[in-house]
Structure 1
Amino acid sequence: MGADHSRPAPPAPRRVRRILVAAVVPLVLGTLVAALLLWPRDAPTPADVSDPARYHGTVTRVVSEACPALPETPEEAPGARPQRCGTVSVRVEDGPAAGQEVVTPMPDGPGAPVVEAGDEVVLVELTDPADPASVTWNIAEHQRGMPLIWLALVFAAAIVVFGRWRGLAALAGLAASFAILLTFVLPGISAGRPPLLVAVVGAALIMFVVLYLTHGVTAQTSVAVLGTLGSLVLTGVLGVVATAATHLTGFGSEDATTLSMFQADVDLHGLLLAGIIIGSLGVLDDVTVTQAATVTELAHANPGLSRLQLYRAATRVGRAHIASTVNTIVLAYAGASLPLLLLLTADSRPVSQILTSEFLAQEIVRSAVATLGLIAAVPLTTGLAAVVTTAGRGRPAADGGTDTTPDPTANAHPAPATPATRRPAHDRADVLRALGADGSDPTASPAGRRGWPDPDRSTDSAW
């Protein structure tokens, strides 16, 4: 989660660090207290359902047979799969029948697995209640454990090899996110706690753990934390207003309807809001970390930029980031709801009725609210980062530099000044050369030859 910026940010002045600590520590303590109060101590236990026993097995032989003709066969729908008949021999790998070879009917029907010799499958043992000695076996699905393990190993190795220690910290943050979701957010909602409140507290816990673990305890990270938390609260408020205005109930999907049958006390409207909060968090922290790092890098490249110039330059970067992220949000929600969207092609209702129906209006509200919260994160985080980065520099002069006019009220015998820490000359030269303003380009402007291009110029490409 978030962007990686390997160069450490310069330390903020002590006064600024104290202000950030005074702002962040109460938020952390408040989040912990809220989590303790909302902790699901009385979460309902899963119902004891006597599911059929499931065992692992390996297919040894597949025998296909002609299916018996039905007296009246309706016309098959376009794209329907032909009926499959026959038997499959499977060697049982575990359970009381381990080592035995059983014969099962060929899997058939919607979603049935297509098996071949050598496939590893999951078997279901069915016992006839009227005759316990009569046992039949069926193939439920393929075993997916080993492919998922290899995929997880490749995923983790790629992150660690590319990100090194930062990648390892990102994996730890990912594990912490799932731990909070599985131990607090989901059980809390199942226990009847307010879903929106549980989601906000859970998202705050995830944010504190992931951002500080991945990016370190720095002023730059604290700015990203404050920007993310403020944007999350705004997203929640916008979600409440938008769902109330559109009269969404939360029953816009088949999953929600099924959940209401098993847990009638779950607030599906609150669950919809909780999903918006959790779904927005991953994109929000990416934007806030990037904006905080952008301000820091700009100030590091040109210490003469004023607070307003830093804000304007970093906001231009934020606009470009938002322009691409908005499309990411919409496509992410569209991909998750693709089966529902495909129903549009088979629906004979007018487009206006389809767009205002519960299931599609729900996705529109998700995308719009998440995008509005994301847009608000850019000026909020950029402004905080500009204030923190320029704190302790001295009063900016009218030309964007630093006012060094002596104070007439100062002591006549001031203490010896501490030499300012300067950036390495070669580092500044590299930055200026990359900007084409090191004097080697004959077309560079006079402002560029003085060490920095026009700080107020726009980097947006012309249409």
Structure 2
Amino acid sequence: MRSGSGTLTTMPGGHSHTHSHDARSTSGAVAVSTLARVGLTLLLVVAAAATVYGLVRYWPGDTQTPNRVGTTDFAAPGVTFPIAEVQETLPVCATPTGGAGDASSGGQAGDGGSAPTCGAITVQLEQPTATSGDVRPVVSVPVPPAVSSSGLREGDTVQLLRTPPQSGQPETYSFLQVQRGAPLSLMLALFLVVVAVVARWRGVLALAGLGFGGLVVVKFMLPALLDGQSGLLVALIGSSAIMFVVLYLAHGLSVRTSTALAGTLFGVGITAGLGLLAVDMARLSGVANDEGATLASFVTTMNPRELLTCAIIVAGLGVLNDVTITQSSAVWELRAAAPSMGRRELFQSGMRIGRDHIASTIYTIVFAYAGAALPVLLLLFLYERPVLEMLQTESLSEEIVRTLASAIGLVLAVPVTTAVAALTVGTAKPSVHPSADVTPSQEVGSELSGPTAADLVRAASGPPPPATRAEARARMTSS
């Protein structure tokens, strides 16, 4: 009989042991349906074998090397990109025509003209140039107004573009970008520390899985795409490999994790099919911005539409993983709290949890895109064009397809994961703790009936009032 957070288990010999179920103990206390476990294992073994075969079969060789583009290939011969330290910053030019590169700002730096009075920075190069001897040059460089107003100050580091002397003209410098390595490294270190302190080993293992996922993307997916492989196959193989390692590494090798993995793979498959269909039906080209056009011009072996399909599949991995592991854990905990609950009732209870999770996750997906695309949304607000007409542009249509395909795969993964978990778990097997309190009890087969599912669910929600415990103890003593 269950009382509060404890479970009273009748043992042969007339003794009962009371113990509590926490998240860890219930994981080991829930039995697993043998038939469902065998079926789930076979399914995942086949998926793992297909993933390994795909990695071996489509692992990129050295054929993608000619597609690599060096940094200097984007500029004229002899151009370099030196690093410099900011010595002085000038205020933003007041007139719209003033600023970076404008005549009113005093001329281009390094061309012998007068020094600018606004919209520029004075920097000192970290290394001497070929024409400066052992001296580190100090130059004044015009910068865009947005950079001037971003808080750039003395001591910051920037990267310049240096054009060597040509046709009797002196060398010139122009602003390229701010070096942000230090603040980004600080944020990364803070993230690692917070995860390790709060989540402990589970967080550390999740970070290790994240590192593995990055290796798969860099070492397999990107080179394979440059090699001209199918974006659909590359995304399916890479996503499967990432999910196998990430889930088992972060959540342990268990049937519960295997259930979540099966639901995740199903969601990936649904997302892939919908993405492929939507890209074809919407006639998306995969070249919606300058980056896509530049990539298409440099890599002629890659189909931009294949890249878009791959991006749709990878975009939903993180949220999909979150939903499936939560659903699997919810069903396991429900079974531990109510061992006599039928599988249909277990599925229905799990789906009630899943619907709440779906609602919150949809908000996450939509608002994450809204935050990233806020400048685009502002342009939509300013343009005097119908909203539906603007939504049909290439760039926005790509984001809509990516978001909706991921969301549909996520939503459909919830009932599948819940159903697999409900079929996989068996009846709860309460474990016996040697240190538990011993209370007199009836022998097996006595008139004291066991708790109902409703009693267990009420008990799982919290300890009953003291009067209830006293009454239960009195009934047990009198019997």
Q: Structure 2 length normalisation: TM-score?
A: 0.74
**1: distance between equivalents of 2:92 and 2:293?**
40
Greater RCO, CA 8 A, separation 6+: 2
Is residue 258 of structure 1 aligned with residue 294 of structure 2?
A: yes
One-letter code aligned to 1:163: A
1:274 CA displacement: 1.1
Q: Distance in 2 between matches of 1:291 and 1:440?
A: 34
CA displacement 1:47-92 (0-9 Å, x = unmatched): 343553233332234467989x9xxx8799xxxxx96934644333
2:471 corresponds to which residue? none
The equivalent residue for 2:42 is: 22
Q: Give the CA deviation at 1:388.
A: 0.7
Q: Output aligned runs, 1:204-223, within 5 Å.
A: 204-223=240-259
Partner of 1:90: 123
The answer on 1:47 being equivalent to 2:69 is: yes
In the alignment, what sits opposite 1:56?
A: 83
Amino acid at match of 2:64: A
Q: Which residue is 2:153 aligned to?
A: 116
Amino acid at match of 1:102: P
Q: Which residue of 1 aligns with 2:361?
A: 325
Pairing partner for 2:270 from 234, 252, 263: 234
Instruction: Output the CA distance in 2 between the equivalents of 1:64 and 1:311.
Output: 64
SS in 2 for 1:438: coil
Q: Within 5 Å, which residues of 2 pair with 1:52-451?
A: 52-62=79-89, 85-86=116-117, 88-94=121-127, 100-109=135-144, 111-112=146-147, 115-131=152-168, 134-390=170-426, 393=427, 421-422=430-431, 432=458, 435=461, 438=464
**How far has the Cα of 1:166 moved from its partner?**
0.5
Report if the CA contact (8 A) 1:104-1:139 is conserved. no
The amino acid that maps onto 1:9 is: S
8 Å CA contact 1:251, 1:268 repeated in 2: yes
Q: Deviations over 1:79-128 (max 9, x none)?
A: xxx96934644333346679844232242336545643222223443212
Post-superposition Cα deviations, 1:253-293, rounded to whole Å, max 9, x if no partner, equal: 33322322222332122222211100111111110000000
Match of 1:12 in 2: 32
2:54 to 15, 34, 52: 34
Structure 1 CA distance, aligned partners of 2:220 and 2:351?
36
Contact conserved, 2:351 with 2:415, CA < 8 A, in 1? yes
Aligned-partner SS, 2:212: helix
What SS does the aligned partner of 1:130 have? coil
SS in 1 for 2:243: helix
What is the CA-CA distance between 1:174 and the residue it aligns to? Answer: 0.8
251-260 or 361-370: bigger deviation = 251-260
Give 1:450's aligned residue: none
Are residues 55 and 320 of structure 1, via their aligned partners in 2, closer, same or farther at CA, if it must alter by over 3 Å? same
**How many residue pairs were aligned?**
401
- Are the counterparts in 2 of residues 83 and 108 from structure 1 also a CA contact under 8 Å? no
* Paired residue type of 2:49: L
Deviation at 1:13, TM superposition (A): 5.8
Structure 2: how far apart are the matches of 1:74 and 1:282? Answer: 46
My pick for the range that moved more, 83-92 or 197-206, is: 83-92
Q: 2:396 & 2:88 partners in 1: Cα distance?
A: 46
Q: CA deviation at 1:356?
A: 2.5
The TM-score with structure 1 as length reference comes to: 0.77
Q: Do 2:288 and 2:395's aligned partners in 1 also have CA atoms closer than 8 Å? A: yes
Q: Structure 1 stretches of 5 or more lacking a match?
A: 77-81, 394-401, 403-419, 443-463
AA matched with 1:187 = P
CA RMSD of aligned residues (A): 3.4
- Deviates further, 431-440 or 307-316: 431-440
**Higher deviation after alignment, 116-125 or 291-300:** 116-125
Identity in percent: 33
Aligned partner of 1:53: which letter? T
Structure 2 unaligned regions, length at least 5: 1-22, 107-115, 438-450, 469-479
Q: Quick one: structure 1 residues 359 and 302, their matched pair in 2 at CA, closer, same or farther if it must change by over 3 Å?
A: same
**1:200 Cα shift?**
1.2
- Does the 8 A contact of 1:83 with 1:109 survive in 2? no
Shift of 1:192: 0.8
Quote the offset at 1:218 in angstroms. Answer: 0.5
Contact 2:159 2:175 in 1 (8 A): yes
Local SS of the residue matching 1:125: strand
C-alpha distance in structure 2 between counterparts of 1:8 and 1:126, whole Å:
68
Cα distance, 1:431–1:383 mapped onto 2, change above 3 Å: closer
Q: What code does the residue aligned with 2:85 have?
A: T
Compute the displacement of 1:184 (Å): 1.0
Contact 1:221 1:292 in 2 (8 A): yes
126 and 229 in structure 1: CA distance in 2 versus 1, 3 angstrom threshold: same
